[in-house]
Structure 1
Amino acid sequence: MRRRTAGLAAGALAGALTLTGCSDSGSNAPDRADLSVASPYMPQPVSADMAAGFLTITNEGGAGDELTAVSSDVAGQVTMHSTSGGAMAEESSFGIPAHGRLVFRSGGNHLMFEKLKRAPKQGQTVTVKLTFAKSGPLTVEMPVKAATYTPSTGH
């Protein structure tokens, strides 16, 4: 497998993030997913034991994939949730279509960091590992923003 590391500068507000992933395919392979992450952030938690996280996963490849797990050393567990009609439901996975996106945003799909081992503070970063059904894992540095932060991208 080939290791790839890409640094993305996300238009001032999202800050810098680091992606690390394993892939044995070239980018834009017609039969494989080509995943990247943008705009990750965690609002500073207002609770001592729980926090939310948001990001966008883009698939520029010709095959779909599935986000099957999320973990972080800052939390005892990270769960994925969908929101529909104001009702939140825990999900075991989320599909990412070929040439599509999976968006985790405030008021919609989101990550819940539960059983916090420490309280992330504004200005810090939280390391998050995203695990997929087919692609190698991606490690994302998620900046902690103000509790009231709203990204300009709407995520």
Structure 2
Amino acid sequence: MTARTTRTLAVALSLTAALAISGCSSDTKDSASGSGDQPKLTVSGGYMPEPVNDKMAGAFMVIKNDSKTADKLTGVTSPLSDDLQVHETKDQKMQQVQSLDVPAKGELQLARGGTHVMFMGLKNTPKVGDKVTVELRFEKSGPVKVELDVKERTYKAPTSTDGTSH
């Protein structure tokens, strides 16, 4: 064998090994996580109406899931309050829940009169134009940080194409 043939063979073997290793690692990741399709969440339209006092405030947004794997919103934290709760409204009564579903290829709408986040015992009272940071926690996805715009108390979110408001 000539030196040139040996080099060519070495390069070919190196490329083959690199491709095999990268293929194996990607297969391992897929099999370890089940479907291999982790939830892909994005948040839009986040806002908080200006609180009347420092007792409580609501927060609203849309959490979109572009993956084939459902997830759950399990908690929220913020420097503005040590007590944030996830609420739903049923039969015109607000109640705390442990989690809210974020469906696969769907969205969770946190809106007035429905599901929302409640800040209890605010550390200060944000004003219109301020921004409030929250961190959303999910069952499967990593935490997502969101900045909420503080809006007028009468603010109504734009209506989406399906007729629901955000």
TM over 0.5: yes
Alignment-derived partner of residue 127 in structure 1: 133
Deviations along 1:104-130, one digit per CA (max 9) or x if unpaired, are 000110110011001011000000000
RMSD over aligned Cα, in angstroms? 1.7
Equivalent-residue separation in structure 2 for 1:48 and 1:88 (angstroms)? 19
Pair 1:79 & 2:77 matched = no
Equivalent-residue separation in structure 1 for 2:53 and 2:115 (angstroms)? 20
54-63 vs 29-38, which deviates more? 29-38
1:152 to 124, 146, 158: 158
1:39 to 41, 45, 68: 45
2:95 to 72, 89, 103: 89
Structure with the higher fraction of residues in strand conformation = 1
Pair 1:114 & 2:120 matched = yes
8 Å Cα contact 1:70-1:129 kept in structure 2: yes
Give 1:85 deviation, angstroms. Answer: 1.5
**Alignment length, in residue pairs?**
129
8 Å Cα contact 2:54-2:123 kept in structure 1: no
Alignment-derived partner of residue 148 in structure 2: 142
8 Å Cα contact 1:50-1:114 kept in structure 2: yes
8 Å Cα contact 2:49-2:155 kept in structure 1: yes
Give 1:77 deviation, angstroms. Answer: 1.2
Give the TM-score, by structure 2 length.
0.74
Structure with the higher fraction of residues in helix conformation = 2
Alignment-derived partner of residue 53 in structure 1: 59
Give 1:72 deviation, angstroms. Answer: 0.5
Equivalent-residue separation in structure 2 for 1:77 and 1:120 (angstroms)? 16
Equivalent-residue separation in structure 2 for 1:94 and 1:109 (angstroms)? 8
Deviations along 1:22-55, one digit per CA (max 9) or x if unpaired, are xx99xxx862211000100000001222101000
Higher RCO structure (Cα 8 Å, ≥6 apart): 1
5+ residue gaps, structure 1, are: 1-23
Alignment-derived partner of residue 10 in structure 1: none
8 Å Cα contact 2:86-2:115 kept in structure 1: yes
> 3-state SS of the aligned residue for 1:116?
coil
Equivalent-residue separation in structure 2 for 1:43 and 1:129 (angstroms)? 18
Give the TM-score, by structure 1 length.
0.79
8 Å Cα contact 1:59-1:96 kept in structure 2: yes
